[in-house]
Copies of this chain bind each other. A is one copy, B any other.
Amino acid sequence: MKKYIFEVLITLKNGILDPQGLATQKVLKRMNYPIDNVKFGKLITFEIDAEDIKKAEDLANEITYNSLINPVLENYELKMLREIEI
């Protein structure tokens, strides 16, 4: 059995309004920063116990798609950061 540490980066799909990003961008531009395209997303990390990387990744994808993101509005990128022998 091993412990696999995952990181999920969640972003809004193209065309979905990001009011938090727009408001932040407006403020930073007003402060004269040469900034553009500010976008807010979510970062979630978690550990999965599994026998091998394949099973861990399948579980991590299932959890992310079914419980962590909104598949209508959001895209996600799942990264396995490291594995730990337990």
Contact = CB atoms under 8 A, between A and B. Distances in A.
Interface of A: 3, 5, 9-11, 21, 24-25, 27-28, 31, 33-50, 59, 63, 67-68
A42 B3 CA distance: 24
B46 A35 contact: yes
A36 B9 contact: no
Main secondary structure of the interface of A (DSSP, over half): strand
A61 B11 CA distance: 21
A59 B3 CA distance: 38
B39 A45 contact: yes
Given A33-B63, A38-B45, 13 more contacts: A5-B37, A10-B43, A11-B43, A21-B44, A24-B44, A25-B46, A33-B59, A35-B46, A36-B46, A38-B44, A38-B46, A39-B45, A41-B45
